[in-house]
Structure 1
């Protein structure tokens, strides 16, 4: 099986961890968050020769003329050396250029495939599957654990970045339900609303595989073996050993969210099963009940018709 792979899902849903476990196959070139509007890891034209204007940039057939050539180069591992040199000049940028430029060239020569790890592609997952032929893994985390993680990090979301994208609002009108939270200081309600709307969109997106992060973390070896089969990757003793060490050994202790490596990934080794026990820490029982209420309330669809077939949420 050939073709690129996209691992996506909302930030703090395990995309970096999952992407690194797939990259343990040795058959992929790992590309981290080309659609992230923050530099780094985004705004690197050597990796993606297209300007990202919004978090959760929405890509569909109606704007493919702009995005498709750029992503075709990325998944074909064609690095834009001159474009990168013109845009980014710091010592870190030059080191990143050498890292990615070399990885793209060696990957192309050795027949490796591109793996895009990008939570900011989550609302465009169907386009990546249909137009780029990606095997798409869309991770969903338990909503309480997801909101708890954002609360611990002090993160919030600015819904105007979604509402200012007319094609996104047209194709997914439930985004309009977020208008009342624009400017709100209620971070818990905003994170819960983001989870709810994203869940509704992914649930009717064809051509993707929805995967429960919590089920994956609870029993990683058989679950990753199944994902390897889905992606057409070879499950080898070396890959199994790497995944075992990264998922079942002692966790690396860090505070909060930390970028690591030239790829600027959030990946860190962890005891994935043990981490589930503390995934809701910091929330009160009242807050947990509120999150359940906010995320279980049906999202208004404004007459939108679900696509068929619906993807299946699985733990593998």
Structure 2
């Protein structure tokens, strides 16, 4: 059974995905629905054209998406399609990395793990039509907005409002029209957080998980996620997760995860408990209070 880890960008999906892959039973697939290249727009990984951030997939438009994702979750790599689309030596190296990982993973009977924040609004479809075990990360809104502010990110609501099926199925997104063109990045990020949380909370067949609770106590938290995903919890997985999260400052980081290779994500090794203390960094108390008010309820 395929695992999908999703949630808004900067909600801990890369960290969670890497920790779930620690047991060695999953092949990590990074953001196939990202409309930018890299990591998206790679036909060897996903043979479908992504046109929007937060691409909405439902039964009414799944004619192209379903066969493409069936190939992806079955770890069937499209070598020829990727060769035709190559644009640089980096692309060739990525082709070899992913193509090899898919082929060896399929031969070894491993499952795919999709780490994709851009699938967050389509999580129900992935659970229902692909049979994915979906883990949706939700981060505290103040920390989420603070992270976006530090990176200088903003929300382009046209990406959401320009998808008629998405607006049809989630009409509360129409409230975002008032912020189209706004320069208030705090209000826009808070509105995105609130709308997404509302959608996730009423989506059946998925597990909504607090990033903060997972980061505060990762070993029992990931043990529960392993059970939900149908993954064996092994001493090796526990050891790697403990080292990667490194709560004890005297604990060696050796043997944890490193940010390396061609599947680049936002994940870094970290002391996950300490990271919680820095979540609101860069925001004033007044800004934090405003975000609380904007996302209340």
Tell me the CA shift for residue 49 of structure 1: 0.2
**How far off its partner does 1:264 sit?**
1.6
Which digits, 9 at most, give the CA deviation of each residue in 1:152-188, with x for residues without a partner? 1111110001000000000000110100111111000
- Mapping of 1:185-204 within 5 angstroms? 185-204=183-202
What is the rounded CA distance, in whole Å, between the counterparts of 1:234 and 1:169 in structure 2? 39
TM-score normalised by structure 2 residue count: 0.95
Query: Paired residue for 1:113?
Result: 111
Partner SS, residue 24 of structure 1? helix
Match of 1:262 in 2: 262
- Structure 1 runs of 4+ aligned residues shifted over 3 Å read none
What are the residue-to-residue correspondences of 1:157-172 with 2, within 5 Å? 157-172=155-170
In 2, are the aligned partners of 1:148 and 1:283 still within 8 Å (CA)?
A: yes
2:277 and 2:87 map into 1 onto residues whose CA distance is 44
Per the alignment, residue 11 of structure 1 pairs with 9
CA distance in 2, matches of 1:137, 1:276: 20
Task: Give the counterpart of 1:47 among 45, 48, 55.
Answer: 45
Partner of 1:243: 241
State the shift of 1:72 in Å.
0.2
Q: Name the CA distance, whole Å, in 1 between partners of 2:87 and 2:24.
A: 30
Distance 1:77 1:146 in 2: 32
Q: Does the CA-based 8 Å contact 1:248-1:273 persist in structure 2?
A: no
Q: Deviations over 1:44-98 (max 9, x none)?
A: 0000000000000000000111100000000000001011011123111011000
Contact 1:260–1:266 (Cα < 8 Å) also in 2: no
Are 1:136 and 2:140 counterparts? no
1:36 equivalent among 25, 34, 37: 34
* RMSD between aligned residues: 1.2
Aligned counterparts of 1:185 and 1:97: Cα–Cα separation in 2:
39
- Helix, strand or coil: the match of 1:210? strand
Q: Is the 8 A contact 1:44 1:84 kept in 2?
A: yes
TM-score (norm 1): 0.90
Deviations 1:96-124 (A, max 9, x none): 00000000000000000000000000000
1:234-271, CA deviations, whole angstroms, 9 ceiling, x for partnerless residues? Answer: 111111111011112569xxxxxxx8530121111000
1:173 corresponds to which residue? 171
8 Å Cα contact 1:6/1:137 also seen in 2: yes
Q: What is residue 310 of structure 1 aligned with on the other side?
A: none
Q: Secondary structure at the match of 1:265?
A: coil
Q: 2:10 and 2:292 mapped to 1: Cα distance?
A: 18
CA–CA distance in structure 1, aligned partners of residues 64 and 19 of structure 2 = 31
Could you tell me which residue of structure 2 aligns to residue 294 of structure 1? Answer: 294
How many correspondences in the alignment? 288
- Note if contact 1:260-1:267 (Cα within 8 Å) is conserved in structure 2: no
> Would you say 1:284 and 2:295 are equivalent positions?
no
- Tell me how far apart the structure 2 counterparts of residues 261 and 154 of structure 1 sit (CA, whole Å): 26
Question: Are residues 1:156 and 2:120 paired?
Answer: no
SS in 1 for 2:23: coil
